[in-house]
Amino acid sequence: MANTVVTGSRLQGKVVIVTGGGSGFGAAISRRFGEEGAKVILADINVEGGQKVAAQNPANLIFQQMDVTKADDWMTVVELAFSKFGRLDVLVNNAGTTYRNKPTVEVTEAEWEKVFNVNVKGIFLGTNVFMPRLIQQGQGGSMINISSTGASRPRPGLVWYNASKGAVSNATKGLAAEYGPHNIRVNTVSPLLSGTALFPMFTGMPDTPENREKFIGNVPLVMKEDL
């Protein structure tokens, strides 16, 4: 029998899809949701990473290979939720990408298209499948879109990435207004930066403790050990 890793029960009985669940923020979200009792389908284009995360809590986490830019993959992952668990409650649109921090005029058309396809089109496709099924289910639910501080405070070197996240934040507000009457909440979470595989892409420098410290100083939060 598979081991179940549970530390709480806030999400007991909930079924969640997390895109980009094989690494970084997505892996952490998937693990935590599973620990809180949710059944999580962690979807990722990276098979090795996704399977590794799912294996940490096999009773509550299952892996599904997925390309968020493909409509058929969205149909497959949503149908999996209903066929395996009989319902769906939450979609976390976490999958995202960027290009390496550099002068804007050096960004290639291929890089631009990849950023907008993954970061924006992925949510567009997910919305078109997720919302009708939740409305049909009739019990409300939640969509959480991972945006970025760059959406509201864009910086040089990542102009088109920031623009893609601006689209995510703007669309989220519209979706919240449109689907609120169906008791479906739509919110964004806007991180600054963390020690994920994209750190060198965002910063243009290696992921080292010294380089991380440069960004920690820009976050107006008090660490618990400083209290």
Say whether 93 sits in a helix, a strand or coil: strand
Active site residue 161: yes
Catalytic member of 33, 74, 161, 202: 161
| Cβ-proximal residues to 189 (8 Å cutoff; 6+ apart), any chain | 144, 145, 146, 147
194/212 Cα distance (integer angstroms): 8
165/155 Cα distance (integer angstroms): 12
Taking phi over 0 as left and psi of -120 to 50 as alpha, with beta for the rest, 107 belongs to: beta
Active site residues: 161
